Amino acid sequence: MTPPDTSAPHRTATLPDDADARRAVAPVICYPVETLPRPDLALYRAALATTQVTARVIAPARDAATFRVPAGSFFRISCQDGPQVGDLNLWNAADLTERFYSGKTRALHGTHVSTGDRLWSCFPHLRPMATIVQDTLDWYGIDAYGGSVHDVIGTRCDPYTGALLAGTHYHRCCHSNLTRALAAELGIPARQAEPMVHDVLNVFMCTGFTRDTGQYFMKASPVRPGDALTLFAEVDLLGALSACPGGDCSSEHSSDTALCHPLLIEVLTPGSDSLPGWQPPLRSAYDGSHGL
């Protein structure tokens, strides 16, 4: 007989006699990826070797910056002065309604992404927007706490949750930083830009879920100066990166307490004819009729 679950006293349901048997059922993978189109990493890496840096943008500490990357080019996010987490948004530069979809990226690749994984766009597009070509932290794997790096499970720190949980009105959360940066990039008011800000890729952030309560946790990022995440732009991209006020996210965010550092974004342009046969990915093949 399984003892009552004392970690969740608010639960009141009676434990069934076959609880152990039901819990012992083996899981199945929701989305087997054997049929997922694979990126040609050898092609991308050969092209990466021909690149030159053609733009540099700094996301200042506790602030965000935007950048543009033509399809077929690369961008690299680098840790500069000290451990720092970045919150990344991506849009199709030609159609801002096509944006990064962290939830489906998580469903396809898992809770954290690394070399060879792709950042997928929202419905009705559902195509790779970017492919991770190099990750200097891909040695980290999954640690003893179940933590890993570059998560697609967190949303982004935001002032609304701070107001809900602590009654604070902090203005340098990643959500606000991304909103201000996008508004400035597009020349529109912040209130108009805000709905376009979406769930992020948490670059360099080390996170997981506690085994006993299933709660989202963070821990000090293993990123060090010189570490970088390099991505290939599959479509023309507008990006925004916030240097999170949580710094390395070892203690707290949504405040001015943590030590924070800027992050560097570089756009890398490959030599001509260095991507033979590469084509931007097509939008989803679904016919869009929804049965009507």
Of the pair 5, 252, the CB lying nearest Zn ion is at 252
Q: How many residues bind Zn ion (CB under 5 A)?
A: 4
Is residue 157 part of the contact set for Zn ion (CB under 5 A)? Answer: yes
Query: Cα dist. 61→37, 207, 256 in Å?
Result: 37, 21, 10
Of the pair 130, 174, the CB lying nearest Zn ion is at 174
Beta strands in 136-290 (DSSP E): 148-151, 201-209, 216-219, 228-233, 237-243, 263-269
Stretch that binds Zn ion, among 66-74, 105-113, 150-158, 257-265 (CB under 5 A): 150-158
x/- mask, Zn ion, residues 68-97, rule CB under 5 A, reads -------------------x----------
- Least distance (Å) between residue 194 CB and Zn ion: 15
Helix/strand number for the chain, H first, E second: 6, 13
Of the pair 62, 109, the CB lying nearest Zn ion is at 62
Spell out the residues 6+ positions from residue 141 whose beta carbon is closer than 8 angstroms to its own. Answer: 148
Which residue's structure tokens are 């987490």?
A: 85
- Least distance (Å) between residue 147 CB and Zn ion: 17
Which tokens in the block code for residue 232? 């290939």
Is residue 174 part of the contact set for Zn ion (CB under 5 A)? Answer: yes
Of the pair 111, 255, the CB lying nearest Zn ion is at 255
Is residue 244 part of the contact set for Zn ion (CB under 5 A)? Answer: yes
Spell out the residues 6+ positions from residue 28 whose beta carbon is closer than 8 angstroms to its own. Answer: none
Binding site for Zn ion (CB under 5 A): 87, 157, 174, 244
